[in-house]
Structure 1
Amino acid sequence: MFSLHIDTARTWRGGQNQVLLTVLGLRALGHRTMLVAHPAGELRQRAREGLELLPLTPRTEMDLSAAWRLARVIAQERPDIVHAHDPHGLAMAALARSMSTRADVPPLVAARRVDFHLRGNALSRWKHRQVTCFVCASEFIRRMLIGDGVAAHRTVTVHEGIDPGRADAAPAAD
């Protein structure tokens, strides 16, 4: 399986850690992955050598040039799945999906780690309708999405994890 992962954040937070763990974990299982990340972002800096990296980030949520470039990459590379890990990455992927001329557009998966309601504006509604499946970090978040009108069959709960080796290596607290 070949998955393309998108995270456009410049900073390093829990979400970016999960993206990196996911990409590295999939590679360790023998899957091909590609990471779309901010050119100057911490995620791109921390990504190991050997990862397929595409430095790309939208200037705005509706950056058509970034979406067009992503659409071309998707058409050329033909991933089996596109996984957006942040809101701007999701907007870029949704736009790229709508620009595709392929009949077999790959499914769009969106990570949902925050427990606040989906916005009700037209752009937000359109963007979220493009998502094939929402991967929710908790059952509470999944139920919130269902309450916001997302069909239950388009949601799944996957509890996020950590690398226990890094936790074991942490210095003891005084």
Structure 2
Amino acid sequence: MPSKLKILHLDTGNFWRGGQQQVFLLARELKKAGLSQKLLSPASSPLAKKAEEEGLEHISWDAAGDLDLKAGMNLRKIIKAEKPSILHLHTARALGVASWSLWKYKKLPKIFTRRVNFPMKKGVPTRFKYSTADKIVAISLAIQNQLLEFGIEDSEQIYSCVDTEMFYPRSERKAGKIRIGMAGAIGLDDKDYITFVDTARILKDSGEDLIFEIAGAGRDKMILKKYIEDQGLSNRVIIRGFLEDMPAFFTSLDILLHTVHYEGLGTSILQAFSSGLPVVATSAGGIPEIVDDGRDGYLIPVRDPQAAADQLKILIDSPEKRERFAEAGREKVLNTFSTEVSTEKYLKIYESFT
């Protein structure tokens, strides 16, 4: 790797979700490779804290929106002082600010990673913003196809990754009730926790004695909590909130049920596979690219709690199938979704600009 290469990573998230985890894992692996880099994110962000703990250089930078004038001015100052060779933008907001504020730095390569498959706005501002990126990376084929439909033909596809040493299968499962979980921010517009709860109700009504757990917090937590209470499931569906120790959460489960409306790829699915769990997940976004239906998990239609219950029942009744699916999922992440695989692909993109 040429010593002159210096990367600035920009992430505007003030939370710890899949995207921020991916930025952290990439930066950590690039540090191991000896790459010069710095992370830009809000001072109070979990990413800033993680960077400090890992010994990664961090610069405080925040943006309230694409047209945040103060953020644009601060970014120009940082670019002038740091003199990076590549700017890696990890959120659409970061790309939005960079798109207009760095007009004096047109020769500075800008890489943007798109991690969500929400519908793209087709107005002029969005088209201009995306046109300023020198390379766009999609974390799934579903997102890459979305970009193609938008009119962006030249993009790279690099899957998200998982830390397979951190997320590791436990040696043996504890006796007791089957525990089924889901992880992710509680926002009901994309994460379909209503279907998750409805699935729990269907299985309860059929006589199954199970525990359903949710690891996550968010704006719709109280709405979800009330829905759980209204269904009479308060002792069966437990919201555990934001958890620092996610590996422990996954190893406490027997099955991951991942019900969503939209999903760029599904970091929590990869973490579940790495932790030795079988998965039941909706066929949304990039999920069908990582769940091999009938081999390491089951795919179900969106908003179909009965289908979720039916597939869960198969796994509940068959410990052998759960074990077989778990082994297949773990093998998959080791071969395809490891941090080493992802980092090597990003390094090739960085090198293409030297």
- The reply to whether TM is greater than 0.5 is yes
Aligned 1:8-87 pairs, distance under 5 A: 8-49=12-53, 50-87=55-92
1:122 paired to 2:127: no
Structure 2 counterpart of 1:89: 94
Is the 8 Å Cα contact of residues 14 and 45 (structure 2) preserved in structure 1? yes
Contact map agreement 2:38 2:56 (CA 8 A) in 1: yes
Shift of 1:61: 2.0
Q: Distance in 2 between matches of 1:71 and 1:94?
A: 12
- Alpha-carbon separation, structure 1, partners of 2:114 and 2:82: 25
**Structure 1 counterpart of 2:63, which letter?**
P
What is the RMSD computed on CA atoms of the aligned residues? 1.7
**How far does residue 31 in structure 1 lie from its aligned partner after superposition?**
0.2
Question: What residue number does 1:109 align with?
Answer: 111
Report the Cα distance in structure 2 between the residues aligned to 1:117 and 1:81, rounded to whole angstroms. Answer: 28
Aligned twin of 1:148: 150
Q: Which runs of 5+ in 1 are unaligned?
A: none
User: Structure 2: 5+ residue runs without aligned partners?
Assistant: 170-246, 254-354
Decide which of 242, 246, 252 is 1:173's aligned counterpart.
Answer: 252
Question: Aligned equivalents of 1:47 and 1:63: distance in 2?
Answer: 25
Equivalent position SS for 1:164? coil
Aligned residues: 169
Q: Does 1:160 align with 2:160?
A: yes
Q: CA deviation digits over 1:29-78, x for unaligned, max 9? A: 00011101011111112213532211111123201221121112212212
8 A Cα contact 1:97 1:105, kept in partner? no
CA separation in 2, counterparts of 1:141 and 1:7? 19
**What is the alpha-carbon distance in structure 2 between the residues aligned to residue 83 and residue 118 of structure 1?**
20
How far apart are residue 14 of structure 1 and its match? Answer: 0.4
Greater radius of gyration (CA): 2
Which residue number in structure 1 is paired with residue 314 of structure 2?
A: none
Relative contact order, higher structure (CA 8 A, sep 6+): 1
- Distance in 1, Cα, partners of 2:121 & 2:97: 17
CA contact (8 A) 1:117 1:148 kept: no
Is this contact kept in 2: 1:64–1:95, CA < 8 A?
no
Q: Secondary structure at the match of 1:89?
A: helix
TM-fit CA distance, 1:124:
1.2
Following superposition, the deviation at residue 148 of structure 1 comes to 0.4
